[in-house]
Amino acid sequence: MNSLPLLSLSIWVPIAFGLVLLAFGKDKNAQIVRSVALIGALVSFAITLPLYFGFDSNLANAASMQFVEKMLWIERFNVHYVLGIDGLSLWFVLLTAFITVIVVIAGWEVITQRVAQYMASFLILSGLMIGVFSATDGLLFYIFFEATLIPMYIIIGVWGGANRVYAALKFFLYTLLGSLLMLLALLYLYNKSNGAFDILVWHQTPLSLNAQILLFFAFFFAFAVKVPMWPVHTWLPDAHVEAPTGGSVVLAAIMLKLGAYGFLRFSLPIAPDASHMMSTFMITLSLVAVIYIGLVALVQEDMKKLVAYSSIAHMGFVTLGFFMFDKMLPLNQGVAMQGAIMQMISHGFVSGAMFLCIGVLYDRMHSRKISDYGGVINVMPKFAALLMLFTMANAGLPATSGFIGEFLVILGAVKFNLWIGLLAATALILGAAYSLWMYKRVVFGKIANDQVARLKDLNSREFLILLLMALAVLAMGLYPKPFTDVTQPAVDALLKHTSASKILPEVKLVPAASK
């Protein structure tokens, strides 16, 4: 199975389908365009499945790169086209391909203009994001990382709401400017490692503490904006509100994970001593996101904004789990970092499903205001039942995927520091408060107005995509073992690596012997 270039196929097949749609897709053939896009998404997802079934989850192998592909790309600068996945990246490749299938189906009837360009943007974006999770060459990673901005910029700017141009430009500038410092960091590491762009070589390159601190902040500005962490989060609510439903789903489910993944692949292993030194700073920012942004979500009147702020709070859990370095504590076995990764995967399912549900209502009433709804359960019982599941998962209900990550991070936080654990646990209260408050006002009670009274329940297409998301949320919540078995060895290896100092030893000058 390893003889097939599965990672290259996972990247370039959806991109190829997207380019075909751009070249030949016409609105007069919209149905054919949709069919070709769906075939492309399904084929791309099918290609990623052998990555899971062929992945060796043995403790030693799961922490090392598998399905490796390598070829010389730019000989003069020793740049290679190198792909590989380990336990940290496998599930994100699968999640990306799965979500792409969902958004293609979700936009089947909703998008009626520039259908080919819309579908092509998501297929191309899918391939680029898989490239980010698969690249082990620093320059290749940077190219994929930056290239993802282009299709998402187009998706928001063309098919978004009334303020779509402002939101698209804000999204693009925030994320692009943050990444420029990362490029300087990559060039520094290239020179420091004797002309190598190999990320795994950089992991073993000894650096002075000052160099590590500078590299840490260079990576921080690139990845913190992408997560996004407080206080560089302000682009996300605008992007979500103005983006079409499919754009919001991909943005929340996958693109936010690119920043968190960057911390795992660059900040922690390349600058471990600086990461330890800056851990209090990162934990503080994470707790602010968890608590303050949770309170901000509580007062939102727009459903999309509420879920957008909810995403920021949940991603605060992720960065909190990364920087407690709980492997150093006895009997803790890296539960906080493991929980952070579980939270990343779960958030992909839950937040994506929440935005899909909001899209269902918006397609019918063209309003996202909570006050415009009420009594939806009376006319849309199937929808109300599925939305209840996703709302409970967003609040961290046991037996749903949302519980797994939050429980493990809080468990690790309590063992790390009781007060940090208590502050982190407030997210469960706040999450339940804003999630259930929104559900109560939208779904329960008497029918609010004539528009609500005319609503129709889910059609077969909508029911299918929400059912698939519901199955994913329940499967991960009830049986997380397939997820933890793959990620745990890689987490242990990363924590072991970060616990060993990588500070460049000082050279002591010995005075010459006097004659």
Would the CA dihedral through 379, 383, 386, 389 be positive or negative? negative
What pLDDT does 228 receive? 86
Question: Residue 409 CB: number of other CB atoms within 10 A?
Answer: 33
Query: pTM, whole model, 2 decimals?
Result: 0.90
By C-alpha distance, which of 172, 351, 202 is closest to 270? 202
Which pLDDT band, with edges at 50, 70 and 90, does 330 fall under?
very low
10 Å CB burial of residue 28 (0-12, 13-18, 19+) is exposed
CA separation for the pair 439, 395 (Å, rounded): 11
By C-alpha distance, which of 308, 273, 347 is closest to 171? 308
Phi and psi at residue 460, in whole multiples of 5°?
-65, -35
Answer yes or no: are the C-beta atoms of 225 and 150 closer than 8 Å.
Answer: no
| Residues recorded for the chain | 515
Answer yes or no: are the C-beta atoms of 420 and 428 closer than 8 Å.
Answer: no
What pLDDT does 505 receive? 58
Residue range 420-427: mean pLDDT, rounded:
88
Residue range 318-330: mean pLDDT, rounded:
72
pLDDT at 510 over 70: no
Answer yes or no: are the C-beta atoms of 483 and 476 closer than 8 Å.
Answer: yes
Output b/e per residue, 252-279; b: 16+ Cβ within 10 A. Answer: bbbbbbbbbbbbbbbbbbbbbbbbbebe
Residue range 341-351: mean pLDDT, rounded:
92
Helix spans in 107-198 (H)? 115-134, 138-147, 149-159, 164-192
pLDDT at 515 over 50: no
By C-alpha distance, which of 151, 214, 169, 160 is closest to 187? 214
Top mean pLDDT of 85-89, 94-98, 276-280, 303-307 is at: 94-98
10 Å CB burial of residue 379 (0-12, 13-18, 19+) is middle
The set of long-range contacts for 63-66, using a CB threshold of 8 Å and a minimum separation of 24, is 63/87, 63/489, 63/490, 63/492, 63/493, 63/494, 65/136, 65/200, 66/2
Which pLDDT band, with edges at 50, 70 and 90, does 466 fall under?
very high
Q: How many Cα atoms within 13 Å fall on the side-chain side of residue 428?
A: 18
Least trusted range by pLDDT, from 47-61, 101-115, 347-361, 450-464: 47-61
pLDDT at 189 over 60: yes
Which pLDDT band, with edges at 50, 70 and 90, does 335 fall under?
confident
Structural element, H or E, at residue 269: helix 268-270
Q: Which residues contact 376 (CB under 8 A, 6 or more apart)?
A: 361, 383, 384, 442, 443, 452, 455
Which pLDDT band, with edges at 50, 70 and 90, does 384 fall under?
very high
Q: How many Cα atoms within 13 Å fall on the side-chain side of residue 175?
A: 26
By C-alpha distance, which of 460, 241, 254 is closest to 349? 254
Alpha-carbon torsion angle 371, 375, 380, 386, nearest 10: 70
By C-alpha distance, which of 453, 500, 444 is closest to 327? 500
pLDDT at 501 over 70: no
What pLDDT does 287 receive? 92
pLDDT tens, position by position, 134-156: 999 999 999 999 999 999 999 99
By C-alpha distance, which of 321, 303, 322, 330 is closest to 439? 303
By C-alpha distance, which of 261, 253, 256 is closest to 199? 261
Structural element, H or E, at residue 69: strand 66-74
Question: Residue 343 CB: number of other CB atoms within 10 A?
Answer: 28
pLDDT at 358 over 60: yes
What pLDDT does 128 receive? 95
pLDDT at 54 over 80: yes
Residue range 433-457: mean pLDDT, rounded:
88
What pLDDT does 331 receive? 41
3-state secondary structure of 255: helix
pLDDT tens, position by position, 224-254: 988 888 888 888 888 888 889 889 999 988 9
By C-alpha distance, which of 375, 468, 390 is closest to 431? 390
Least trusted range by pLDDT, from 37-46, 225-234, 330-339, 401-410: 330-339
Answer yes or no: are the C-beta atoms of 448 and 313 closer than 8 Å.
Answer: no
